Amino acid sequence: MELPDETVERILERWPVAVLSTAGARGPHAVPIVFARAEGAIWSPIDGKPKRGGELARVRHIRRDPRVSLLLANYDADWSRLWWLRLDGTAEIRSAPADAAVAALRRKYPQYAQVPVLGPAGLLLRIGITARTSWGASREVDLVEPSGIEPPTSALRTQRSPS
């Protein structure tokens, strides 16, 4: 069932990670991002965390085709707690600091007290939402954040075959 508007609002305020999908030259490209809402849009920084070097694929892809999709999702062994939210939109690369966006990112992610919100190029992605689709196993979504999820102990064991 479609998630209620107030649930979508809570997810966008609190959920820590989304998957950004762009259209690359060789097909779809998906990467996890941090994000915050400000000034009627979704913002994601190209921040000061270490990068491989050169222009990031997501930036190259958006310069060529600004159509993007964001996916936020929750998986749980209890399938009554499953939900997902997809936001389709148009992305822009912004090099001038958007003070409201940077402030929103700092409020949402305390890690930005230690890591610069903006990397050396000072880039932000601004995503204007054009469509929203969602589903939840129930109307009541429990926003247990994904950090701290550990695999079951059995998943960590290596099965050995008898010699």
> Would residue 133 count as lying in a domain?
yes
**pLDDT, tens digit, 9 for 90 and up, residues 128-139:** 999 999 999 987
At 85, which helix (H) or strand (E)?
strand 83-94
At 15, which helix (H) or strand (E)?
none
> Would residue 113 count as lying in a domain?
yes
> What is the extent of the structural domain holding 31?
5-156
Amino acid at 81: R
> Would residue 116 count as lying in a domain?
yes
> Would residue 99 count as lying in a domain?
yes
> Would residue 161 count as lying in a domain?
no
Indicate the number of domains in the chain: 1
As a residue count, the chain comes to: 163
**pLDDT, tens digit, 9 for 90 and up, residues 86-117:** 999 999 999 877 899 999 999 999 999 998 89
> Would residue 163 count as lying in a domain?
no
> What is the CATH number for 102?
2.30.110.10
- Please check whether residue 18 is in contact with residue 84, taking contact to mean a CB–CB distance below 8 angstroms: no
> Would residue 13 count as lying in a domain?
yes
**pLDDT, tens digit, 9 for 90 and up, residues 137-161:** 987 777 665 544 443 333 333 333 3
Amino acid at 145: E
Residue 59's nearest CA partner among 72, 48, 46, 47 is: 46
Look at residue 150 and give its three-state secondary structure: coil
Q: What would the two tokens of residue 49 be?
A: 């965390």
